[in-house]
Amino acid sequence: MLPKISYPQFELVVPSTKKKMMFRPFLVKEEKILLMSKDSGDEKDILVSIKQVVNNCCLEENFDVTTLSLFDLEYMFIHIRANSVNDTVKVSYKDKEDEKIYDFDIKLKEVVVDFPENVNSVIKITEKSGIQMKYPKVTLYEDKEFLQAGADAFFQLIVRCIDKIYDEDQIYDCNTYTFAELSDYLENLDVKTFEQIKEFMGNQPKLLYTIKYKNSLDHDREIEMTTLSDFFTLR
């Protein structure tokens, strides 16, 4: 019998819940998953593979990756990658002012999640009634109906992000209602309330890493990196 392989463990904090969880680095089998999705060139396949890698690497019992928000998943994948391969990745950007290309070393462990200020997830309809919103979940990119929604995608996304509805008598858990029932409820909201919901949806937490440098004209320049594709192409 071959010897068992031991792996280092490290702790990550889930940005949306602040819960601490233990992880291991990803292994050759996870790297194969990533490379296969990269070869497909399909963004949906890549996100599904990232979800699988994060799920595999978590050492917590009863961990359910589908409960994570999208930005949680991206953040955790970046930090797992930093502990698995290398904390530093090299990126290049073309400066739009002097047209020169600049190379930078990015420290993945310094990537954070930026939470917008003054954005409330509780949308009041009246003083005694309202809607509790939630962030988009990682299951979004496996939702065939949503992926085929076309021009209606934003409205369908909002429906999927309604967590609870409340009035002075009761709290209604939206998991117990159909998509059609929730859609009908939204369509009968007043426009002012719906604008508040759109503001919440348009100000989601996101990855953030800021590069500051001087270009060849001696001007201070800044680059904000906010998506997975800003940092690397998986490997």
Distance CA 213, CA 221 (A): 5
Residue 41 has pLDDT above 80, yes or no: no
Q: Would you state the structure tokens that stand for residue 20, as one six-digit string?
A: 């601490």
Which region, left, alpha or beta, applies to residue 115 given φ > 0 means left and ψ of -120 to 50 means alpha? Answer: beta
Return the pLDDT at 119.
Answer: 87
Strand pairing category for 101-107 and 112-114? unpaired
Residue 232 has pLDDT above 80, yes or no: no
Residues of the chain with pLDDT > 70: what percent? 98
Return the pLDDT at 4.
Answer: 85
Against a cut of 0.85, is the pTM above it?
Answer: yes
Whether the Cβ atoms of residue 77 and residue 53 lie closer than 8 Å to each other: yes
Average pLDDT, the chain: 91
Residue 235 has pLDDT above 60, yes or no: no
Q: CA 214 from chain center: how many Å?
A: 31
Q: What is the mean pLDDT of residues 91-110?
A: 94
Q: What is the mean pLDDT of residues 196-205?
A: 94
Return the pLDDT at 40.
Answer: 72
Distance CA 216, CA 218 (A): 5
Alpha carbons within 13 angstroms on the beta-carbon side of residue 147 total: 10
pLDDT tens across 164-193, in order? 999 999 999 999 999 999 999 999 999 999
Closest CA to 68 of 111, 33, 113, 107: 113
